[in-house]
Copies of this chain bind each other. A is one copy, B any other.
Amino acid sequence: MGVTAAGKNEEKPLTSTMEDYLEVIYDLDAEKKVVRVKDIASRMDVKMPTVTSMLRALNDRHLVDYEKHEYVRLTEEGAGVGREMRRRHGILFRFLTDILKIDGPTADGEACKMEHTLSETTLKSLTDFMEFIQTCPRTGESWLNSFEEFRKVGLDADKCDICSEKFPCWLDQQKADTVKT
């Protein structure tokens, strides 16, 4: 007791909206020379007054240094949050595009929403899974490509180039099994 929420930082968890703003600011900071209210507003798809009040809130929590009419700068902590959101976004985006073969813009939108809700555990699992697919000799690029084919026509082992070329031995065994059954 007493330690819980004295004068320290991060008393309450950030809202996901706040995380969104920090991510956007983090991105703008990397892209542009200065970060301005107008640009945050357009990225977040909100009006400028909304940004102003959010900046005040973020300033109170020491996530940005903000004084009115001056450019916005992230604090160490704020930048940390922004970077973390970027990282998560990246993982999810790659999963959606590289694995699930979702188109870029759609994937970007979905990643935005998921990046707040997924736990570190799940994210780690997803990362491992992607690495596994890329590392395991049974899958990798070729297998992933055949997924696209699968989505169009359904899986037909006889027509699966990759399988019949690279795994003739096993495929033959499969066929035998199928016939037996």
Q: Once the chains bind, are B110 and A96 in contact (CB under 8 Å)?
A: no
Complex contacts, A171 vs chain B, CB 8 Å: 137
Known: A113-B117, A117-B117, A119-B106. A138 touches B135 (CB 8 A): no
Q: Once the chains bind, are A128 and B150 in contact (CB under 8 Å)?
A: yes
Closest 4 CB pairs of A and B: A113-B117, A100-B125, A135-B155, A138-B138
Mask: chain A, 144-169; 1 = CB below 8 Å from B; 0 = not: 00110011000101001011001111
Q: Once the chains bind, are A117 and B114 in contact (CB under 8 Å)?
A: yes
* Other A-B pairs, 7, CB within 8 Å; known A106-B122, A137-B170, A139-B139: A100-B125, A125-B151, A132-B155, A136-B155, A137-B163, A137-B167, A138-B138
Q: Once the chains bind, are A126 and B100 in contact (CB under 8 Å)?
A: yes
Report 24 cross-chain contacts, Cβ distance below 8 Å, ordered by A residue: A96-B122, A100-B126, A100-B129, A101-B125, A102-B122, A102-B125, A110-B118, A113-B118, A114-B118, A117-B117, A128-B150, A128-B151, A132-B150, A135-B155, A136-B146, A136-B163, A138-B138, A138-B143, A138-B162, A139-B139, A166-B170, A167-B169, A168-B169, A169-B169
- A residues with a Cβ closer than 8 A to B are 96, 99-102, 106, 109-110, 113-114, 117-119, 121-122, 125-126, 128-129, 132, 135-139, 143, 146-147, 150-151, 155, 157, 160, 162-163, 166-171, 174
CB distance from A108 to the nearest CB of B (A): 12
Q: Once the chains bind, are B138 and A167 in contact (CB under 8 Å)?
A: yes
Q: Which residue of B lies closest to A146 (CB)?
A: B136
Q: How many angstroms from the CA of A172 to the CA of B118 in the assembled complex?
A: 39
Q: Once the chains bind, are A110 and B99 in contact (CB under 8 Å)?
A: no
